[in-house]
Amino acid sequence: MLLRILELIGIGTFAASGALVGVTKRLDVFGVCVMGMFTALGGGVVRDLLLGVHPPTSLVNPVNLGTAFGVSFVVVFVHAVVMRLRRQILVLDALGMGLFASTGAVVALEHGAGPLAAALVGGTTAIGGGVIRDVLVNEVPLLLQREFYAVPALLAAALVGVVVHVGLSTNLALVVATTFAFVLRVVSLWRGWGLPTPRIE
C-alpha cells in the first residue's frame, strides 16, 4: 500500500517535470500533457519492451495513466506555482527515481533476468522518462551532462540484485535500494556533487 502511494508520487512528480518542460517550450495544452505522460510512463514502457511484457503495464493501468494525465493537466494552469516549488519537486523526483530504479530491477529479476541485466533495466526505467522528455524537445539529456542522477539509479538497481541474491525478500530490497538512491541523490543535490567533464585541450 505504502509502495503503491510512493509509486504514484513518483509518477506524479515525473509528470510535473515533463509538463513543465512542455510549458517552457511553448507547446499547446495537448503537447504539455503528452510531455508529462511520456516522462512519467516512458521509463516503464521501455522496461516492459526490454522484458517482453505486452502490452506495457503502464498503458494498462488506469490509475497510473490518470495520475500522469491529471498532474500534467493541472500543471497547465498552475505552472507558475509549480515552477516556484522546484526545490521541493526535486526531492520528490529523487524519491521517484529511486523507486523506479528499484521496482524496475525487481520486475526484471521476476522475468528471469540476471543481476547484471536487472541493474541495467532498473537504471533504464529510472532515467528513460527523462531521456525521452529531453530528446522530444531537442535538448541533450540533462542527466548526461552534469546531473548526479543516473549513477544513484544504477547503483540502486544493482543493490536490488545484491540484496535478493543474499536471500532477503524483494520487499526489503525495494526499501533498501529506494532509500539508498533517494539519500544519495538528495545529498548530491545539497552538496552540489557532480562528475567531472573531460577536458578538451
29 touches its own copies by CB under 8 A? yes
Identity of the residue, 6 or 35, whose beta carbon is nearer to its own copies in the bound complex: 35
CB atoms within 10 A of CB 32: 24
Question: Nearest approach, Cβ of 52 to its own copies (angstroms)?
Answer: 3
CB atoms within 10 A of CB 52: 8
Question: Nearest approach, Cβ of 9 to its own copies (angstroms)?
Answer: 22
Identity of the residue, 183 or 195, whose beta carbon is nearer to its own copies in the bound complex: 195
Query: Which range in 10-18, 47-55, 94-102, 169-177 contacts its own copies by CB under 8 A?
Result: 47-55
Identity of the residue, 175 or 188, whose beta carbon is nearer to its own copies in the bound complex: 188
Identity of the residue, 66 or 172, whose beta carbon is nearer to its own copies in the bound complex: 66
Give the distance, in angstroms, between the CA of residue 155 and the centroid of all CA atoms in the same chain: 14
141 touches its own copies by CB under 8 A? yes
- Pick the closest to residue 120 from 178, 93, 160, 147 (CA basis): 160
Question: Nearest approach, Cβ of 71 to its own copies (angstroms)?
Answer: 14
Cβ(130)–Cβ(100) below 8 Å: no
Please name the residues in contact with 162: beta carbons below 8 A apart, sequence gap of 6 or more. Answer: 115
Phi-psi region of 143 (alpha: psi -120 to 50; beta: other; left: phi over 0): alpha
- Pick the closest to residue 39 from 21, 63, 52, 60 (CA basis): 21
Which one of residues 9, 59, 91, 186 is an interface residue with its own copies (CB under 8 A)? 59
Between CA 80 and CA 31 the distance in angstroms is 18
Which one of residues 74, 90, 151, 155 is an interface residue with its own copies (CB under 8 A)? 151
Which cell goes with 20?
513543465
Residues that bind its own copies (CB under 8 A): 22-32, 34-35, 45, 49-52, 54-56, 59-60, 62, 65, 76-77, 79-80, 108, 111, 113-114, 116-117, 120-121, 131, 135-141, 143-146, 150-151, 194-198, 200-201
